[in-house]
Amino acid sequence: MKLWTRYRWLIFIAGGVILLDQVTKALIRQNLALYETWVPWPWLAPYARIVHWYNTGVAFGLLQERGQFFAILAVVVALAILYYYPRIPAQETWLRLALSLQLGGAIGNLIDRLTIGHVTDFISVGTFPVFNVADASITIGTALLILSVWLQERREQAARKATPSHTSEESLSAPTTDRQ
């Protein structure tokens, strides 16, 4: 029961990302031929569209043909998150959410790499590289991680400023002697 309590939000959030990622990718693979584009409304075409694409690199088409390396990296990242997550204080909500999103995205893309040899991408916005739910989850998780670290540093700085240093307290309260 204690294990469930420590990991419950990680499992729900990462599991939700994995499920959404895998369902959307399966729908794309079943309904669009490779490189085929679908735009529900013609006016939307210059801004956003669905396109069946694949990627052997990392998010947004970077570092192509290194799929095995990124599969290993995804396993290492997932294990690190599983190890570190229960050590995060419960009040660190943003950090917990960030790691959950990153875990879900890493596993979502890992499933593709292990089962079909590449990652299915399908979201195309403007001229931005094509991506998927897992990529978006990893990116949002990384942004939240940076935000969480920044907020924690700000809290620590505020706490240090609120706590006077001992040397300044001692010098203020030390008795003075008059030398004449």
The residues carrying an active-site annotation are 121, 135
Taking CB atoms within 8 Å and a gap of at least 24, the contacts of 153-158 are: none
Quick check: 120 and 112 in contact, CB under 8 A? yes
CB count within 10 Å of CB 51 equals 17
Q: Locate 71 and state its tokens.
A: 């599969």
Buried b (16+ CB within 10 A) or exposed e, 63-101: eeeebeebbeebeebbeebeeebeebeeeeebbbbbbbb
